[in-house]
Structures are given as C-alpha cells and as structure tokens.
C-alpha cells in the first residue's frame, strides 16, 4: 500500500477475526515503530508485545475503552524510558509518533488496529505498570490492539479548511 493511501484510509478497527498474526508481521510492526522521529533522536521507547490473552483481558478489565483487547490476537504497549528522556515532556510526543507508525504499518499490512490511550491517566498508567511489572522509570503511554479486521470501515475525509491558517491566525 502506498504511504499516502495508508494515511488517508486508516481507520480505528475494534473488531478482530480469531486468527493469529505471525511473528514475522509483529517484528515488522516493531521495526516500523522504531523508525519514528524522536526529540534529539534519543529514541526513548520500549515496546512490550502482548502475546498473552490473559494480560490483554486484564487491561480490558481496568481500562474503560479497551474492550477490544478481549478479542484482539495481539497488542503492543508503547512505553517511554524516563532515564533516556533529555527534554522533559517530549517522551509522550516521541511515543505518540511511534504509536502512529505502528497503526500505519498495521493498516498497510492489511491488519486492523486501534490506539488505546494510557498516558496521562494516572489510574491507567499505574494499573498497567503493576500488571506488566514496569520499573519506575518506564512510562506506559499507549497500547495498540491489532489483528485481522472483522469489520470494514470506509475512509473518512477529515480535511477541514476552517482549521488551516496561513501566516497568522484568521480572524472570525
């Protein structure tokens, strides 16, 4: 799939077929995550591949918008390493870029996926950190559920000219 097509047609998929995703595809997703830009090119991320159904279901138990993890055949937790972070608060941006790369790769490979926000919700961050035994310097930012889609969503045009300003903010 061409990059522009992937960007324009990607949709959040929350329903998955009961079909495993190969380890080779999972590796491609992680490789794509690590090609994301990051502040000072520090790449302050770690990724936890969730192959265990019990862990995915446990996340759905505490996260009010993660029910799709009950049926998703795979998920990746995107974490930031505070020991690597140089400029405070850029870690969430770096991890967001990696998360978007995963989502685009998922779509380009014919899979479906959805971004599940963890950061900055303290209760979600703490619950996930306890569940997957994160050390104190590792910040859980997002989870991406993925698998073969059991739903088809049409692309949505989201371009809104009213949100475009040239050189300065438009009045009125």
pLDDT one-digit tens code per residue, 98-132:
999 999 999 999 999 999 999 999 999 999 999 99
Residue 82 domain-assigned? yes
Domain assignment present for residue 34? The answer is yes
Residue 1: per-residue pLDDT:
85
- Dist. CA 153–CA 105, nearest whole Å: 17
Bridge partners (DSSP) of residue 142 are 78, 117
Q: Are 139 and 129 in contact (CB under 8 A)?
A: no
**Is position 20 within any domain?**
yes
Average pLDDT over residues 55-62: 98
Assess whether pLDDT exceeds 80 at residue 134. yes
Total domains in the fold of the chain: 1
Domain membership flag for residue 159: yes
Chain center to CA of 165:
29
The whole-angstrom separation of Cα 119 and Cα 18 is: 29
d(CA 23, CA 87): 34
Give residue 171's pLDDT band: very low, low, confident or very high (50, 70, 90): confident
- pLDDT number for residue 170: 77
The predicted-structure confidence for 24-56, as pLDDT tens digits, reads as follows: 999 999 999 999 999 999 999 999 999 999 999
Residue ranges of alpha helices (H) inside the chain are 3-9, 23-33, 53-62, 91-108, 122-131
Q: Is the pLDDT of residue 172 over 90?
A: no
Residue 137 forms part of a structural domain? yes
Q: What is the mean pLDDT of the chain?
A: 97
* Residue 170, domain member (yes or no): no
Q: Is residue 171, in this structure, part of any structural domain at all? A: no
CATH of the domain at 38: 3.40.109.10
**Where in the sequence is the domain holding 13, given as residue range(s)?**
3-163
Nearest to 36 by CA among 78, 89, 6, 81: 78
- pLDDT for 2: 93
The answer to the question of residue 172 being in a domain is no
Do residues 45 and 98 touch, judged by C-beta distance below 8 A? yes
């Amino acid at each position: 799939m061409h990059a522009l097509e992937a960007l324009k047609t990607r949709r959040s998929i929350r329903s998955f077929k009961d079909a495993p995703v190969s380890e080779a595809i999972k590796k491609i997703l992680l490789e794509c995550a690590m090609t994301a830009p990051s502040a000072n090119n520090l790449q302050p991320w770690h990724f936890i591949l969730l192959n265990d159904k019990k862990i995915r279901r446990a996340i759905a138990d505490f996260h009010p918008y993660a029910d799709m993890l009950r049926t998703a055949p795979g998920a990746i937790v995107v974490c930031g390493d505070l020991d690597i972070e140089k400029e405070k608060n850029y870690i969430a941006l770096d991890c967001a870029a990696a998360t978007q790369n995963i989502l685009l790769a998922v779509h380009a490979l014919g899979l479906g996926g959805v971004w599940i926000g963890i950061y900055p919700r303290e209760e979600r961050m703490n619950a996930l950190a306890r569940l997957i035994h994160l050390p104190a310097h590792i910040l859980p930012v997002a989870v991406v559920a993925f698998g073969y889609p059991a739903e088809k969503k049409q692309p949505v045009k989201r371009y809104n000219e009213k949100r475009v300003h040239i050189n300065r903010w438009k009045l009125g």
